[in-house]
């Protein structure tokens, strides 16, 4: 009987061991599931944090872009106002000349020369230069040829006549000179 009892005791022990193993395994599974849930929550929180940072950065960039556009617009308007302010004395002198009905031809001519000189000073102050004189070499990048003539009094590709001067501001061409070119 002892053998039977020993056998039964061993079976009970085996059953207990299996139960313990199941409990350990289920505990490990629960622990793994808890870890997975924990890592998922961490990833979700990290994603939410990154999303928040992205949205803040996007909002900052959008504000910067709008601010830059407004500053650019303000600078443009301010520059226009400054230039017009500098031109107003020239306009005032034209008004004075037009209002002076008693002046003779020589007086008008002298007044127009003074105003013209004042306007050239204005252009010079802002760095605007005129170009395109009779005798200059023709350059298709800065001149616009509207006529071509053959004349032995001029050299090859020489400007024979200027219909309207060209103007540049530094390297930027504001208006091309309109010219007649000889011997091109």
Count: domains in the chain: 2
pLDDT at 100: 85
pLDDT at 86: 92
What integer is the mean pLDDT of 11-18?
Answer: 64
Q: Which of 89, 110, 126 is a domain's end point?
A: 126
Are residues 75 and 25 part of one domain? yes
Cβ-contact 181, 138 below 8 angstroms: yes
What integer is the mean pLDDT of 34-44?
Answer: 82
What integer is the mean pLDDT of 83-109?
Answer: 90
CATH, residue 18: 3.90.20
Q: Which of 160, 165, 127 is nearest to 143 (CA)?
A: 165
Domain that holds residue 66: 1-126
Q: How far apart, in whole angstroms, are the C-alpha atoms of residue 69 and residue 15?
A: 80
Are residues 122 and 145 part of one domain? no
Burial of 132 (0-12, 13-18, 19+ CB in 10 A): buried
Cβ-contact 88, 122 below 8 angstroms: no
76: pLDDT strictly greater than 80: yes
User: Which H helix or E strand runs over 147?
Assistant: strand 143-149
Cβ-contact 107, 97 below 8 angstroms: no
């Amino acid at each position: 009987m002892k053998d039977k009892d020993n056998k039964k005791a061993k079976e009970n022990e085996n059953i207990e061991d299996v139960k313990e193993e199941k409990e350990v395994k289920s505990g490990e599974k629960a622990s793994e599931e808890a870890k997975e849930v924990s890592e998922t929550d961490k990833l979700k929180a990290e994603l939410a944090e990154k999303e928040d940072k992205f949205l803040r950065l996007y909002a900052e960039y959008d504000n910067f872009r709008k601010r830059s556009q407004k500053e650019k617009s303000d600078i443009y308007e301010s520059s226009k106002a400054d230039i017009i302010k500098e031109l107003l004395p020239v306009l005032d002198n034209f008004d004075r000349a037009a209002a002076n009905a008693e002046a003779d031809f020589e007086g008008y001519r002298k007044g127009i020369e003074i105003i013209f000189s004042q306007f050239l000073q204005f252009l010079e102050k802002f760095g605007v230069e005129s170009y395109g004189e009779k005798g200059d070499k023709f350059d298709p990048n800065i001149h616009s040829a509207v006529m071509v003539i053959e004349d032995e009094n001029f050299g090859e590709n020489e400007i024979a006549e200027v219909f309207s001067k060209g103007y540049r501001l530094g390297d930027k061409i504001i208006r091309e000179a309109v010219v007649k070119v000889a011997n091109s």
